[in-house]
Structures are given as structure tokens and as C-alpha cells.
Amino acid sequence: MGNNKWECIRKNRIGDPLLIDDKVLLQIANDVRANAYCPYSNFPVGAALLCSDGTVFTGVNVENAVNGLSICAERTAIFKAVSEGHHDFVKLAVTCKGNHCQPCGACRQVIYEHAPDIEILMGNPGGKFVRTTIRDLLPEAFSL
């Protein structure tokens, strides 16, 4: 096992997404938040994306001096999953320093494009969190 204690979940397809409950998914997102590169905003964000086969992909925000070249945690997780051939997403957990982090507009559109029925958890593993859907966050999304 590598440096990340969640590596086994990401690498081994446990086959049942129900084995990963909401608090565990939030904890995974919270743990990877430490890897964020955010020297400009000092606002680290972590994301954990649960696929229908039980695989979890993580993401963090990665900033750049040219702000338009930065990427959010949610899009990082989705792009990693898509690049590995995964397209059936069940749930996305997002954590930050505050009570709960809401995906930005760009992330909402990307999430909708790849998973219009996904459930989203926003919060922190030790406290309260908000459960919603991408359709509720982006009710009139652009779609194919």
C-alpha cells in the first residue's frame, strides 16, 4: 500500500458502492484535501467521486498564477475517472475548511455533463453535511 490510506479503495474495485457510506466518502475527500495546491487562495478543497462499481477517484484544487489555468477538486476527480475509462458515477463528496463547499458553476456544468443524476455531499466528515443533487444545484444545465 502506498502513502495514501485510501489507495486500496481506489485501486481495488470493491464491487459494491453501498459499502462506502457517506461519512467514509466525505472522509476520503477530506483526507486528500491535504494535497491541494492553493498558494493564492489558501483554500484547499478535496473531492471523492464514487463510481457504480465501487471505485473511488479523488481530486484536489490545483491553482496557477494565471487563474484561468487553475482547476477545481471536483473536475480533477471527474477527469481522472474519465481518463481511466469510468463513466458511471453515483456520488460526489466535496470538503473544504468551511461548513460545506458548493461546486462552482464550471464544476456544476461538468458534473451535469458526466452524471446528471449524481448525488452530491457537501460538508465535513465530523460534522453536518448537505445532501443534494446536481439537478438541484444546476436546474437548467446545458445538455446534449
pLDDT tens digit string along 61-106? 999 999 999 999 999 999 999 999 999 999 999 999 887 789 999 9
- Judged by DSSP in three states, 6 sits in coil
Q: Pick the closest to residue 100 from 54, 46, 144 (CA basis).
A: 46
We find that the CATH architecture of domain 7-137 is 3-Layer(aba) Sandwich (3.40)
Extents of the domains making up the chain: 7-137
Which cell numbers in the block locate residue 17? 458502492
Q: What is the pTM for the complete model shown?
A: 0.88
Cβ atoms within 10 Å of 2's Cβ, excluding its own: 9
Catalytic residues, which ones?
74
Give DSSP secondary structure letters for 35-78. Answer: G-B-TTT----EEEEEETTS-EEEEE-B--SSGGG-B-HHHHHH
Cα–chain center distance at 38: 17
pLDDT digits (tens, 9 = 90+) for 11-42: 444 456 667 889 999 999 999 999 999 999 99
